Amino acid sequence: MASNIRGLHHTAFRCRDSEATRQFYEDFLGLPLAETLEIGITKTGDQSQYLHTFYQMDDGSFMAFFEAPEMPFSFKDQHDFDMHIALEVPHDHMMAMKAKAEAAGMECRGVSDHGFIHSIYLRDPNGYVVELTSKTDIHDEAVDPTINGARDKLDRWTKTKREAGVGPDQDPGFGRVETGAEVIGTAGERL
């Protein structure tokens, strides 16, 4: 069933410094800077200026950034669970980028075996985790919801929470969710 959503056009994030960001995404990762929008410059010349940059991936989609010097933003080293960006690469390229990152003294975690994908984890100059991930042979089967019970697992989780009185507006930190299900790690391991 087609959703009519063709794919990711761009995903946009704040950046500290557009040039430092370009050095990571273009010089290190190899994504060409495709467009730079100078926003807020008017004929009177007295408006705030923001810079919006776009880096193109092989499928035509973009990673985009806003540098907005007058608009406060708290940069921090993000935890993977809170936000990360996963870019698909061939396995050989992932290994080459791991070697390149380590040679440059950059943060690089992995290779992590998640079963359907293998991944390494880098960090960009803005604190965002950038995952480079390679599909394994079982990928397409693993993400087939007619086989893997994705909806059943979500429903079991939600039922347990609701029965414990935890509604959708509850912020994280309330405690454990004990669904009684066998817990399987992201690499398929039994926990």
Q: Is the Cβ of residue 22 or residue 118 nearer to Fe ion in the bound state?
A: 118
Q: What is the closest distance, in whole angstroms, from the C-beta atom of residue 52 to Fe ion in the complex? A: 25
Cα distance between residue 84 and residue 186, in whole Å:
16
Q: What is the closest distance, in whole angstroms, from the C-beta atom of residue 95 to Fe ion in the complex? A: 18
Does 106 interact with Fe ion (rule: CB under 5 A)? no
Whole-Å CA distances, 110 to 28, 56, 113, 133, 163:
18, 25, 8, 10, 38
Determine the interface stretch with Fe ion among 90-98, 104-112, 123-131, 139-147 (rule: CB under 5 A): 123-131
Find the residue with minimal CB distance to Fe ion. Answer: 86
105 φ, ψ to 5°? 75, 20
Q: Is the Cβ of residue 37 or residue 143 nearer to Fe ion in the bound state?
A: 143
Determine the interface stretch with Fe ion among 47-55, 71-79, 96-104, 124-132 (rule: CB under 5 A): 124-132
Determine the interface stretch with Fe ion among 85-93, 105-113, 138-146, 176-184 (rule: CB under 5 A): 85-93
Q: What is the closest distance, in whole angstroms, from the C-beta atom of residue 108 to Fe ion in the complex? A: 15
Q: Which helix (H) or strand (E) holds 135?
A: strand 129-135
| 3-class DSSP assignment, residue 139 | helix
Cα distance between residue 108 and residue 130, in whole Å:
10
CA dihedral 67, 69, 70, 75 (to 10 degrees): 80
Total binding residues toward Fe ion, as defined by CB under 5 A: 2
Cα distance between residue 59 and residue 2, in whole Å:
19
Give which of 140, 133, 87, 84 is closest to 110, Cα–Cα: 133
Q: Is the Cβ of residue 83 or residue 181 nearer to Fe ion in the bound state?
A: 83
Q: What is the closest distance, in whole angstroms, from the C-beta atom of residue 165 to Fe ion in the complex? A: 31
Residue selected from 86, 95, 106, 142 as contacting Fe ion according to rule CB under 5 A: 86
Binding residues vs Fe ion (CB under 5 A): 86, 131
